[in-house]
């Protein structure tokens, strides 16, 4: 996890700036930490997305949360 920009579970908000996690700072830190290991980053984010979806679904009376954009889409390399 990146420095202080970690998620507050089960709300999945950034501990520092209260934005939906991963916030911009968390994304930058994750990209730096996983530099050269994009598959490892995507595996981590996939696991965290499942965990967050479970938590947020429970908090929202069973309404399933779609977190694909929030957790994964940004982590794919740009088409080059």
Residue 14 in 3-state DSSP? strand
pLDDT single digits (tens) 28-71: 999 999 999 999 999 999 999 999 999 999 998 877 778 999 99
Closest by CA position to 30, among listed 53, 49, 11: 49
pLDDT at position 76 over 50: yes
Domain spans of the chain, in order of start: 7-75
Q: How far apart are the C-alpha atoms of 49 and 29, rounded to whole Å?
A: 17
pLDDT at position 2 over 80: no
Q: Count of CB atoms within 10 A of residue 67's CB?
A: 19
């Amino acid at each position: 996890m990146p420095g202080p920009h970690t998620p507050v579970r089960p709300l999945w908000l950034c501990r520092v700036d209260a934005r939906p996690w991963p916030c911009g700072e968390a994304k930058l830190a994750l990209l730096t930490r996983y530099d050269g290991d994009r598959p490892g980053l995507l595996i981590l984010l996939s696991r965290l997305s499942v965990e967050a979806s479970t938590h947020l679904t429970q908090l929202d009376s069973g309404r399933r949360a779609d977190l694909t954009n929030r957790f994964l889409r940004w982590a794919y390399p740009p088409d080059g």
